[in-house]
Amino acid sequence: MELHDVWFVLIAVLWIGYFFLEGFDFGIGILTKLLARDRTEKRVLINTIGPVWDGNEVWLLTAGGATFAAFPEWYATLFSGFYLPLLIILVCLIVRGVAFEYRAKRPEEKWQRNWEQAIFWTSLIPAFLWGVAFANIVRGVKIDAHMEYVGTFWDLLNPYAILGGLVTLFLFTFHGAVFASLKTLGDIRERSRALALKLGLATAVLALGFLIWTQASRGDTKSLVAMAVAVLALVGAVVAIKVGREGWSFALSGITIAAAVAMLFLTLFPNVMPSSLNDAWNLTVTNASSSPYTLKIMTWCAGVATPIVMLYQGWTYWVFRKRIGTKNIADAH
Amino acid sequence: MDLALAPETLARWQFGITTVYHFLFVPLTISLAALVAGLETAWVRTGKEKYLKATKFWGKLFLINIAMGVVTGIVQEFQFGMNWSDYSRFVGDVFGAPLAFEALIAFFFESTFIGLWIFGWDKLPKKIHCACIWMVSIGTMLSAYFILAANSWMQHPVGYKLNKATGRAELTDFWHVLTQDTTLVVVFHTLTAAFLTGGAFMVGVAAIHLRRKKHIPVMRTSLRLGLVTLVIGGLLTAVSGDSLGKVMFKQQPMKMAAAEALWDGQNSAPFSIFAVGDVAKGHNDVEISVPGILSFLADNNFSSYVPGINDVNKSEQEKFGPGDYRPNIPVTFWGFRWMIGFGMTSFAIGLAGLWLTRKKFMLAPAMRTGEDEVPNLVLFKSRALGTRLTKWYWFAAVWTLGFPLIANSWGWIFTEMGRQPWVVYGVLRTKDAVSPSVSQGEVLTSMIVFTLLYAVLAVVEVKLLVKYVKAGPPELTEADLNPPTKIGGDDRDPDRPMAFSY
């Protein structure tokens, strides 16, 4: 395995980390509308991710930075090619971050309601668009001989990509509902379990369609294994939430995300961004990667830093391990 | 295509707007994180309530500020690829690494520990809680270091070779990129300027309250802390700025010449205080200058030869082929002056304040004030400043909080505009760096979207800051004074409201 292959795997790991973590906090954002009955419940939900959402988002920045360093051509083609969807995602992430931090800083109801609206939409839109983006990467887009994207914005909104978007949207919302059941107390916990069950079933239908489509059009044995793991884990997550095993359900919904992302990356390899115009114009792990020297330095850095990051991020979850209920929310705000 | 709306011009405007905006928040974040950490440490060590109150007060302003810094930072990382894809292809091998390091090492640090700090008041023993804000502070500085190393490489590319086959720059010596003199001096200059900014902010906000005789014990401490920070920060900013000037003189002579509107090289080159130039003819019509100073700034010698704009332009034409290698001279010239002018005005106000509000040194006993009194402004041993001058001083102290923000912005505009037409000095031109696949309409759209969004957020942010500045330090609660003794919080009452919730 050469270093650029290692980095292909590491980029996949970073995206898995991002979707696993921000997946449930996007889900929580969406659930503030679907699940919470009153404003206190909304706040219970928001506070389940309060201390951690920012750290979760850094997985995206790291994935972006690592792609820039390890596969500059991939980074350049992807970010300039998917210009408008990324602009929308950026606007959402900006507003979303500010919404979390500023929502409680004024007592007026109107102020808080506006930010709550913002949290819902800015969680929902990226949750959908990330699926669209990844489905397009796997499917292949119009890339010319100079590695430039020559398609339009509308080319990105094809049926396969839209299905991909719906899958991430539902999967993240399901993952979020399971997380909510794991982190809350009282009535809202019961309702999040019930909702998670419904969401899980809907996700299963969509995900099965998307994964089979992917497998049929560009899968191999390895991706079939990943797909089987994803599907089984998703079924397991649904069963676990039905019988009230929230921890298991969360672990399994996480495995679903990881396996599904792994499957997409497996169908890509050795491409990183295939061209739909001509196979010779594909961006691959070799023609898009950095020099061996840069990859070596990056490997050292990632090898040392990533375990440490996981250690202290994990510690954060342990510090905030207590469930939150409506009683823990002060009235002051 | 009309130059004013060419994708390159638009992409540059967008980069300029989003970067200057982002950098309004960065220096405050860097300095306030450390200052809040210092205040919390003082509380942990002494147990004095005024320090805890100050921690909470400045901590709140810090959080309002860092939220904006974080979200506007995401744009920065994305827009290299979005708007400057040819740049990204060309430099990714070199430039990507420090960016990835920044995310992996610094951003995780900042974001994780800030979450612990915000929500951890009732979950962490006070020493660990305090350690968290120190971690945030370290994260902010590491972040500055890595991104400045990347930027320094654009100013002065080292540790790389050009790969003829791929046409890309390839890293050969990462250590050199991280430790070249440009990087070290720029990091020093940026961090010290950040503390100048934070110190001035603290002085300004404290002065607002002291003028009205409110929250005196906390604001008195804050004023002194702010003044000391401002003065040390200001002094070191000047020292580091001087070193940076000398490095720049060697590495980017055009920038130095443009900063001074020195058209033709000369010995004992003067420092120009004011100039009206004629760019087309390549000379100044009107100029007021002090001889020898520029030579000293550039080379530590009042009579050294400093090459002028016309000379450097000519030598670059010989080296890189025909073309205009001059940056926008008026912007560079005035940017340099606004940077120094605003920064040093703030420093002077701080220096005056440090002397006027001294506690004991050269101060008659009658002039000394207690913990709960507004300090007298004392000029000589037993002679206080008159009423009018006192009023003026407090007025200046309030206004000084904005000056470094202006200075910082102009500093970046100066150094980035002064490097033009290059994006990587001597290696890659800005016009060759834009994304070929992004249309004019797309860049225009994103530029308008970001500008409008940032404008709205600026209003929201400033209003919130004003609200919390006015509110003053919070009253302390029982829970504040009795932090938990074990990690995860005490089990006293599971239904207890959280100390902090969104």
Query: pLDDT of chain A along its 333 residues, tens only?
Result: 899 999 999 999 999 999 999 999 999 999 999 999 998 999 999 999 999 999 999 999 999 999 999 999 999 999 999 999 999 999 999 999 999 999 999 999 999 999 999 999 999 999 999 999 999 999 999 999 999 999 999 999 999 999 999 999 999 999 999 999 999 999 999 999 999 999 999 999 999 999 999 999 989 999 999 999 999 999 999 999 999 999 999 999 999 999 999 999 999 999 999 999 999 999 999 999 999 999 999 999 999 999 999 999 999 999 999 999 988 887 654
Instruction: Kindly provide the b/e burial profile for residues B304-335, where b requires at least 16 CB atoms within 10 angstroms of the residue's own CB.
Output: bebbbbbbbbeebeeeeeeeebbbebebbbbb
**A20: which 2 tokens?**
């696993």
Q: What whole-number distance in Å separates Cα of residue A86 and Cα of residue B442?
A: 12
Q: Which residues of B touch A305 (CB under 8 A)?
A: 104-105, 108
pLDDT of amino acid B384: 86
pLDDT of amino acid B489: 81
Q: For the CA atoms of B469, B115, B136, B26, what is the dihedral angle to 10 degrees? A: -50
Residue A73 sits at the chain B interface (C-beta within 8 Å) = yes
For helices B85-101 and A292-319, angle between their N-to-C axes, nearest 10 degrees: 50
Residue A87 sits at the chain B interface (C-beta within 8 Å) = yes
A93 near A322, Cβ under 8 Å?
Answer: no
A78 near A141, Cβ under 8 Å?
Answer: no
Q: Which residues of B touch A61 (CB under 8 A)?
A: 74, 77, 103, 107
Measured in angstroms, the CA of B80 and the nearest CA of chain A are apart by 8
Longest Cα–Cα distance in chain B = 79
What's the whole-number mean pLDDT along residues B461-466?
A: 97
pLDDT of amino acid A1: 80
Q: What whole-number distance in Å separates Cα of residue B391 and Cα of residue B446?
A: 46
Domain limits of chain A?
3-328
Indicate the residue of B67, B115, B502 with minimum beta-carbon distance to A97. Answer: B67
Whether residue B4 is predicted with pLDDT greater than 80 in this model: the reply is no
Task: Judge if the upstream peptide bond of residue B421 is cis by omega within 30 degrees of 0.
Answer: yes
pLDDT of amino acid B2: 59
Indicate the residue of A58, A306, A312 with minimum beta-carbon distance to B107. Answer: A58
Is the Cα dihedral A84, A69, B92, B252 positive or negative?
positive
Q: B58 burial class (0-12, 13-18, 19+ CB within 10 angstroms)?
A: buried
CB-defined contacts A:B, below 8 A: 254
Measured in angstroms, the CA of A228 and the nearest CA of chain B are apart by 32
What's the whole-number mean pLDDT along residues B320-330?
A: 94
The pTM assigned to this predicted structure is 0.95
Q: Do A328 and B124 touch (CB under 8 A)?
A: no
- Give me chain B's average pLDDT, please: 93
Instruction: Kindly provide the b/e burial profile for residues A80-101, where b requires at least 16 CB atoms within 10 angstroms of the residue's own CB.
Output: bbbbbbbbbbbbbbbbbbbbbb
B140 near B30, Cβ under 8 Å?
Answer: yes
Instruction: Kindly provide the b/e burial profile for residues A150-172, where b requires at least 16 CB atoms within 10 angstroms of the residue's own CB.
Output: bbeeeebeeebbebbbbbbbbbb
Residue A330 sits at the chain B interface (C-beta within 8 Å) = yes
Whether residue B1 is predicted with pLDDT greater than 50 in this model: the reply is no
Q: What whole-number distance in Å separates Cα of residue B170 and Cα of residue A293?
A: 9
E strand or H helix at B472: none
Residue A212 sits at the chain B interface (C-beta within 8 Å) = no
Question: Which residue of chain B comes nearest to A298, CA vs CA?
Answer: B97
Picking from A28, A39, A41, the residue whose alpha carbon sits closest to that of residue A187 is A41
Measured in angstroms, the CA of A315 and the nearest CA of chain B are apart by 10
* Residue pLDDT, tens place only, A237-247: 999 999 999 99
Indicate the residue of A55, A78, A147 with minimum beta-carbon distance to B81. Answer: A78
* Residue pLDDT, tens place only, B151-161: 999 999 999 99
What's the whole-number mean pLDDT along residues B364-389?
A: 87
* Between residues B348 and B1, the one the model is more confident about: B348
Q: Which of A94, A103, A275, A316 to mutate to test the interface with B (most CBs of B within 10 A)?
A: A94
Measured in angstroms, the CA of B171 and the nearest CA of chain A are apart by 6
Q: Do A322 and B102 touch (CB under 8 A)?
A: no
Q: Which of B10, B94, B104 to mutate to test the interface with A (most CBs of A within 10 A)?
A: B104
Q: Which of A283, A291, A296, A317 to mutate to test the interface with B (most CBs of B within 10 A)?
A: A291
Helix boundaries (H) for A35-82: 39-49, 53-70, 72-81
Measured in angstroms, the CA of B488 and the nearest CA of chain A are apart by 5
* Residue pLDDT, tens place only, A194-219: 999 999 999 999 999 999 999 999 89
Measured at the alpha carbon of residue A47, what is the angle toward residues A44 and A53, in degrees to the nearest 5?
145
